[in-house]
Amino acid sequence: MLGAVVQACSTTVFAMVVGRGVVGAAVGAASFVVPLYIAEMAPAAHRGRLVTTYVLFITIGQVLAYVIGWAFAEHGADGLGWRWMVLLGGVPAAVQAFCLLFMPETPRWLVMRGRSAEAREVIQRVLGQRRGAARLADATLKSIAVEIEQDRIRLDRHHRASEQSDWFGRFGELLATRRNRRALAIACLLQGLQQLCGFVSAMARSECAALP
C-alpha cells in the first residue's frame, strides 16, 4: 500500500524509484512467505494444488493488470491515468492486510513457541469435522514436534561444523556432495530458464508499446 501511494504521488524519478523499491520488496517477501504458509497450514494431499493455484492467480493478476493499464492509457485523463494505475495496486494489498487479521498462525510456529494447544486447534480447524479428525490432529501435532526436534539437532550439528571449517570449506561441501550439487543445479536452472524464455522481455516490450 505504501509503495503504491508513493508511486501515485511521485513527481520525481527518485520518488518513483523509492515507491517501486517498496513494492518490489513486498512482492519478493510475499513470493516466499505465501508458499511457506501454505506448506505449513495445508494437509499434504492439498499442498501441491494450493501452491499451483497461488502461482496461477499471480499470472491471472498480471494479465488483469495489463488490461487495466491499457484501459487507463487509452481512456484515462492525460497525465493522470498512470497515477490511478499504480494507485490501484494498493487495493489488493489493503484486502490482504485486512484478511491477515483473521488468519491463524501456523501449527509449526505455535509448537516452536510452546503453544501446542493452540496448534492443535488450528490443525482441527483445517481438518474440519470429518471422521477421525481429532486422532489425525494429534498425530499431525506429534509429527510436527518430532520434525522440529530433528531440525534443532541438525542445526546444532551444522553450527558445530561451521565453527570448525572456513567459508571455502563450506562452499566446497556444497559442490562435493551430490545431493547439494543436484539441488544447486536445479535452483540455478529454474532461475535461468525463467529469464531465457523471454517472458521478461515480452513484459517490458508490452509496457513500451502501451506508451503514447
Q: What CATH code is carried by the domain that includes residue 25?
A: 1.20.1250.20
Based on its alpha-carbon atoms, the radius of gyration of the chain, rounded to whole angstroms, reads: 23
Q: Reduce the DSSP state of residue 166 to 3 states and report it.
A: coil
Residues 15-63 pLDDT 10s:
888 888 888 888 888 888 888 888 888 887 788 888 888 888 888 888 8
Q: What is the domain extent for residue 7?
A: 1-103
Answer whether residue 188 is part of any domain: no
Confidence class for position 211, pLDDT limits 50, 70, 90: very low
pLDDT (mean) for 165-174 = 62
d(CA 127, CA 132): 10
Segment (H or E) for 78: none
Task: State yes or no: pLDDT of 73 exceeds 80.
Answer: no
Mean pLDDT of 70-97: 81
pLDDT at position 124 over 70:
yes
Which has the higher per-residue pLDDT, 98 or 153? 98
Number of domains comprising the chain: 1
Helix (H/G/I), strand (E/B), else coil: 60: helix
In a domain, 82, yes or no: yes
Residue 170 lies in a domain: no
193 within domain boundaries? no
120 vs 140: CA distance, rounded Å:
9
Q: Note whether 154 and 144 are within 8 A (CB).
A: no
Closest CA to 106 of 119, 93, 88, 96: 119
